[in-house]
Structure 1
Amino acid sequence: MSVTALTARGGRRGIRESFSDFAAASPSRFALLVFAALVLVWTGLLALPASSAAGTATGFADALFTAVSVVCVTGLSTVDMTTHWSGFGEVVIYVGVQIGGIGVLTLASTLGLIISRHLGLRARLIAAGDTNPLRAHRGPVAEGQAVRLGDVAGLLRAIAISVVVIEAACAAILFPLLLRHGFSVGEAARDAVYYSAMAFTNTGFSPNNNGLFPFAHDYAFLTTIAVTVMLGAIGFPVIYALARVIRRPAQRRRIVSLHVKLTVVTYLLLFVIGGGAYWLLEHGNAQTFGRLGAGDGVFQSFFLSAMARSGGFSTFDVSQLHNSSLLVTDMLMFIGGGSASTGGGIKVTTLAVLFLAAVAEAKGVQSMEAFRRRIPGDVLRVAVSVVLWGATIVALASVSVLAITRDSLDHVLFDVISAFATCGLSTGLTMGAPDPAVYILAATMFFGRIGTITLAAALAQSQQRRLFAFPEERPIVG
């Protein structure tokens, strides 16, 4: 081999080593860059004439917004998703939501594990940073997490298996139901696969002109969609832990971590509270549940409660909800799903930690406790940061969109929170919105999907050890 070839080979190896070092040392910045690159690639693909049903290039604002909505698995759109895109465009969208739902770093690590059957330390660190915001900075991390560093390979296998199994099961159930609604075999097969992907990734796009409206009274269809959405939103670490419990029931207490317990309990509590709130507030609204019987109204209330967390599907016009119900939906969307899930929002464990901190303060105890476990203070700091960053992004985006569109506050706030929480429910604001408002909503989706902690860690310097401390002084709070 010539000297030139050796030099080139060494240079390529040096670039790969530098790239790998950067990815492992700062997963947050790596995730930010990769997601941005993915959005640019999908924007270019969707802007192609081949992606449009009319055979013409899609405008930059619409292509960018759709690309962000797809990669960030949001479900909002500025064009008619059922008529605007060609078959090629629909394939691009389908692949994009699969990548975005799993997480690009997790997907890359999973593919590496499948190909090489081995996961090195750097790959484990990258994957761990993608599934745990507490690893956003350089430096040691306590291993008392839902998924320890040594369990990352098992988690990646669980992610790959759960995506295939859950989506396949959903499609298999939906296929005969679609046939019963008069779809041809080809249409039923296509729509079943499409709906299963959009449900599990919590995206909410529909291949039909009327969305889920034709299936509003098909409770088998809606239940399948709701269960699939909830499985995607509860989080891969929870699915991984529950799968281990099924395989090894004798070790249940050791396997089920505090994260899993907090996620499941908080998620189900919010689901029940949300369903009850919708029924109480909407049972007299003739535009939503008022025209339905008691049983139908209760079912639709709980279906909306599941979709409001991050699913994005709806069986009626969301803009017809009472303002009180819109506000309830705002809160549910802002909370979102579980950590390391296909859902968005600040995450249910963040809410749980803040609640436990308030309870501890009210009791006068120094530490947060739950399920006979003590939660360290640094977790509370992360939870507070997530909420403050999220509220700041929503506030700035809402003010900007209000100034541009001059629309009503309840509708603007609803769609902005839906964008931040990557939910996909909409009052119709995005259709026909001016380009500046479209760009602001696209940025809101992007920041909401990558996570507020990931964004803050990517913009800040890595953690540094201080060799001094300032004098302590207590301000008045409250």
Structure 2
Amino acid sequence: MVASGFGSAILIGTAVLSLPIATESGERAPFVDALFTATSAVCVTGLVTVDTGQYWSTFGEVVILALIQVGGLGIMTLATLFAILVSGRLGLRTQLIAQAETKTARLRDVPHLVRNVVLFNVGSEVVIATILSVRFFTGYDMPLGEAVYDGVFHAISAFNNAGFSVYSDSLMGFVSDPWITLTVAIAFIVGGIGFPVAFELARSWRRPRTWSVLTRITLAVTVPLLVIGTVVIGLTEFSNPGTLGPLDDQGKFLAAFFASATARTAGFNSIDVAAMHPESWLFTDLLMFIGGGSAGTAGGIKVTTLGLLALVIWAELRGESKVNVARRRVPESTQRQALAIGLLSVGLVAVVTMVLMHLSPHRLDQVMFEVVSAFGTVGLSTGITADLPRSGHVLIIVLMFVGRIGPLTLFSALALRERARLFEYPEERTIVG
């Protein structure tokens, strides 16, 4: 149902974007370009084969914006519902209470959840759009109508972690403007950590001891990754004349933080990604692969998966038979699910990278960056997207679709289809390592 729902939205978007009115030239867009853009929008990725602001008309841009909203809102709603089904801990009435100990979610409470998710989504976008519109209007002498349009477009795109921009260079023209870059960064961080975590923090940010395991793991992984990413990218690109080199110290820090945050599936860039050093590309690959929080608009394997795997390793190193966090025991089934998602994702990225290298003349580091960006629904690119052959575009389309719904539906399927075995085989240890 999830796959068919997203697939239907993509097909409708493709059909509308194929209309002559959707392009600036008044000519029909090639089918693959329309399909690629629609998939990227619904899957809130941001990879493009054509310049969004130059190629698509205002009508086409509004269609893209609508697809982003549908995709982002659908992802957040479905992910939150799945979180309830899987964990059985998220109680519902007019609000999501992460500490509730209910065993099941009642169907009559689902409409309240959906309403809260929609209000959270739309309310956040209104605040972000207001800040961006005022800044565009007062700081860059934009006409009021253009400022509001650009503010709304980037607010929806940012909160839903889509990465689409009406500017050809994304946000590079605002690299040193904290009003623009920090507002956009906060938007996709909040949208990426997910509704359950954001709601719980809003309710009990002063009482961290009452936080759920989901919130604890999400913050425990997200914050260090943001800090480490800022430091690593800041150091590797510090003197690079194509990225951070020309900026002052404050500008370097702001740009490095934005580059670290946007790699968590946002897709905007305030520096030239194509000019970054290969080591920065590799580190960004890791950030894009990890992604953001569960039940949010971010992609990747999710920070919760990485956090659970880290806890499993830590418990094994300490010789403990159980994995515990915040005075709670992590079920073995959840540990296996995290391991399955991690290994399957690594395998998928490796296979697609090899195939795409065979189809295109580009280097390994460029191709891998593109593949991880598509799988993690990030949208960052070294500039090779448009140069890929049509077969490569089709492969990226499939990867964006799988990367968007794959981890969500796979985790839910693994959790909801768990079955108890009525017998056990004799145990036999094998050599590991």
TM-score where L is the length of structure 1: 0.82
How big is the shift at 1:292? 2.0
- The reply to whether residue 163 of structure 1 matches residue 116 of structure 2 is no
CA deviations 1:278-297 (Å, max 9, x no partner) are: 11111121111122222221
Instruction: Provide the secondary structure at the position in 1 that maps to 2:387.
Output: coil
1:128 — aligned with what?
81
One-letter code of the match for 1:415?
A: E
| Structure 2 CA distance for partners of 1:427 and 1:33, relative to 1, 3 Å | same
1:33 — aligned with what?
4
1:237 — aligned with what?
196
Instruction: Provide the secondary structure at the position in 1 that maps to 2:127.
Output: helix
Whole-angstrom distance in 2 between the partners of 1:444 and 1:455: 15
One-letter code of the match for 1:68?
A: T
1:52 to 23, 34, 41: 23
- The reply to whether residue 94 of structure 1 matches residue 65 of structure 2 is yes
| Structure 2 CA distance for partners of 1:227 and 1:459, relative to 1, 3 Å | closer
2:174 — aligned with what?
215
How big is the shift at 1:340? 0.9
1:184 — aligned with what?
143
1:340 to 273, 291, 295: 295
1:411 — aligned with what?
366
Instruction: Provide the secondary structure at the position in 2 that maps to 1:314.
Output: coil
Judge conservation of contact 2:341–2:411 (CA < 8 Å) in 1: no
Whole-angstrom distance in 2 between the partners of 1:98 and 1:194: 10
- The reply to whether residue 68 of structure 1 matches residue 39 of structure 2 is yes
1:202 to 144, 161, 183: 161
More deviation in 206-215 or 168-177? 206-215
2:56 — aligned with what?
85
Q: Structure 2, unaligned stretches of length 5 or more? A: 92-97
How big is the shift at 1:374? 1.6
Rg larger in structure: 1
Identity of aligned residues (%): 41
One-letter code of the match for 1:72?
A: C
- The reply to whether residue 291 of structure 1 matches residue 246 of structure 2 is yes
CA deviations 1:445-470 (Å, max 9, x no partner) are: 11111033514876999555544444
How big is the shift at 1:155? 3.9
| Structure 2 CA distance for partners of 1:171 and 1:144, relative to 1, 3 Å | closer
How big is the shift at 1:382? 0.9
- The reply to whether residue 103 of structure 1 matches residue 74 of structure 2 is yes
Whole-angstrom distance in 1 between the partners of 2:221 and 2:328: 16
One-letter code of the match for 1:241?
A: E
| Matches for 1:437-456 after TM superposition, within 5 Å | 437-452=392-407, 454-455=409-410
CA deviations 1:101-143 (Å, max 9, x no partner) are: 1226837xxxxxxxxxxxxxxxxxx9622x46x74xxxxx654
How big is the shift at 1:214? 1.8
Q: How many residues align?
A: 420
How big is the shift at 1:186? 0.8
More deviation in 464-473 or 330-339? 464-473
Flag as ranges the 4+ runs of structure 1 deviating above 6 A. 456-461
Whole-angstrom distance in 2 between the partners of 1:386 and 1:319: 30
1:23 — aligned with what?
none
| Matches for 1:312-327 after TM superposition, within 5 Å | 312-327=267-282
Whole-angstrom distance in 2 between the partners of 1:106 and 1:408: 38
- The reply to whether residue 380 of structure 1 matches residue 339 of structure 2 is no
Whole-angstrom distance in 2 between the partners of 1:404 and 1:211: 28
Judge conservation of contact 1:382–1:453 (CA < 8 Å) in 2: no
1:303 — aligned with what?
258
| Structure 2 CA distance for partners of 1:78 and 1:336, relative to 1, 3 Å | same
Whole-angstrom distance in 1 between the partners of 2:426 and 2:416: 24
How big is the shift at 1:209? 2.9
Whole-angstrom distance in 2 between the partners of 1:44 and 1:314: 29
More deviation in 47-56 or 264-273? 47-56
- The reply to whether residue 371 of structure 1 matches residue 326 of structure 2 is yes
1:354 to 303, 309, 319: 309
How big is the shift at 1:210? 3.0
Judge conservation of contact 1:39–1:64 (CA < 8 Å) in 2: yes
